[in-house]
Amino acid sequence: MGRIVSKFYLTTPLYYVNAKPHIGHAYTEIAADVLARYYRAKGSEVLFLTGTDEHGQKIDRAAREAGMEPKAFTDKMSATFGDLWKILNIDTYEFIRTTEPRHVRAVQAVWRDLEKKGEVYKGSYTGWYCTPDENFWLESQVLRAEGKVLCPDCRRPLEKIEEENFFFKLSGHQKWLMEEIEKGGRFKVLPETRKNEVMGFLKNNELQDLCISRPKNRLSWGIQSPLSEGHVTYVWFDALINYITACGYGSDKGIDKRWPADVHLIGKDILRHHAVIWPALLHALGLEPPKRVFAHGWWVVDGQKMSKSLGNATDPIEIVKTYGVDAFRYFLLRETPFGNDGTFSEEALITRCNADLANGLGNLLSRTLTMCEKYFEGKIPEGTFIAEYLKEAPGDLDRRLEHAMGNLAFSEALEHIWTVVNRANEYIEKKAPWTLAKQGNRQELELVIFSLIQILNILAKAVAPFMPSTAEKIRAQLGSGGKIAKGTSLFPRIETK
């Protein structure tokens, strides 16, 4: 994608509110925030949509277990996500809840529009149901072990259900969908491994029509179907529609120019919902598919996915309290390529922060400003050009960042930035300003300090989407009116026992 466009619409999944947010949620949200900040700085009109998924059997059960009504429970739990986004310095987003009136209108409009187009029918269904994942599974898909029938995704017991429901004719969209994904033109599934995964699934399985309702005698906590008083909307069918709710679907004005989305950021565990069901649903409505669905990897601990259900989820608030917001943001996006699984540990975070942030960027700022104070009384030397040795490093940084960010290669983008950091630190050692000062080589000394100050200005701009507070601190210490305002260390070294 390289070219900067006038509008940029990106989304996160709607986070399920049956438990508090964990690092997995923070990871997706931080990545989206970095993209949003980057494109805003480039002049794009950005819509960054996030929110909470609040219907379904799992929520109903969690609310009852907490001794609360579902709406009161979702009000409370939804707020925990907004609170975390403040802590993580997530900036200027639109927050949507599936219990909002505008979303209820959009979902019911989709029901009616699909019926008009002949894409919905009523029928009987018998199948295996996973309550934790809110998914139905075919007999051919389930796992059997020790006399139990298990979910192929989460390995938890399934229950057999027979009932009358409404169905979306998903099976009729398979040929179009396979062609669309294979071409990778207006609809891309990324990274390539995820595209291959989806294509493998489509080639080896005939799509079954999707059950999009639940009978109210089994589940009342959901959006009312406008086609039947006795049914509510299936939670995934409900949740996916949020992406067009935010663009006005179901309103008097109708869907606006912000659709299609430029990128849906999701975890790889919900890939099929977004790369199979969602584009098929949009096609049935006569709408364009999203331009990209990017499925990132998981954070794992001891080889297992970090999740609420496994009880190994790390609280991001505690990590931020200990190590700081920007260090946390940096680690998540630098440690592993976006799209791959990453192994989370505090030891790895400390190592990365000490090496890159304390010894790298923090040290560069501190050394430069200390020398500016010592040799020029804090006044930035005047200059018109950056020393050649330093000029090479940031020479095509903008182009490299544009390419990396266009591909959601956050780790690569940070690597490009740290090439400049490392080059600047090497420059200090190479030029040895302290020796130039002893020799009385004022002209060369001025060039060195001026060049380093300019590089720090470039770095402040480059790191701003990733570490906004750090960028502000660098700018503040670089001062104004030609005089620096040296402050405390950006990243004090983290000492380990």
Tell me, what's the pLDDT at 307? 62
- 292-296 and 188-190 strand pairing: parallel
Q: Tell me the average pLDDT across 63-77.
A: 96
Q: Using 50, 70 and 90 to split pLDDT, how confident is the model at 496? A: confident
Amino acid 2: pLDDT: 46
| Torsion, CA 362, CA 325, CA 334, CA 46, rounded to 10 | -110
Residue 469 has pLDDT above 60, yes or no: yes
The predicted model gives 132-157 an average pLDDT of 85
Range of lowest pLDDT (100-104, 129-133, 264-268, 414-418): 129-133
The region, left, alpha or beta by phi > 0 then psi within -120 to 50, assigned to residue 221 is beta
| Residue 1 confidence (pLDDT) | 42
Q: Note the pLDDT of residue 43.
A: 94
pLDDT single digits (tens) 192-233: 999 999 999 999 999 999 999 999 988 899 999 999 999 999
pTM recorded for the entire structure: 0.92
* Domain segments of the chain as ranges: 7-314, 345-478
Q: What is the pLDDT of residues 166-177, one digit of tens each?
A: 999 999 999 999
CA within 13 Å, CB half, 179: 5
Residue 138: the pLDDT is 75
Domain 345-478 in CATH 1.10.10.10? The answer is no
Q: From 3.30.420.10, 3.50.50.60, 3.60.21.10, 3.40.50.620, which CATH number describes the 7-314 domain?
A: 3.40.50.620
pLDDT score for 310: 59
- Find the mean pLDDT for residues 329-358: 95
Q: What is the percent of the chain where pLDDT is above 90?
A: 82
Q: Which two tokens stand for residue 335?
A: 């440690």
pLDDT given at position 233 = 97
pLDDT at 305 over 80: no
pLDDT band at residue 308 using 50, 70 and 90 as cut-offs? low
Q: Check whether 247 has a pLDDT greater than 70.
A: yes
Task: Name every residue whose Cβ is closer than 8 Å to that of residue 82 and which is 6 or more positions away in sequence.
Answer: 95
Q: Which pLDDT score, from 0 to 100, does residue 174 have?
A: 97
Mean pLDDT of the chain: 93
> What is the pLDDT, as a whole number, of residue 105?
98
- Give the pLDDT confidence score for residue 392 in this predicted structure: 74
**What is the pairing mode between strands 7-16 and 45-53?**
parallel
* Whole-angstrom distance, CA of residue 218 vs CA of residue 451: 69
Kindly report the backbone phi and psi dihedral angles of residue 323, in degrees, each rounded to the nearest multiple of 5, phi listed first: -115, -10
What pLDDT score was predicted for residue 146? 86
- Taking Cα atoms as reference points, which of 237, 246, 187 lies closest to residue 10? 246
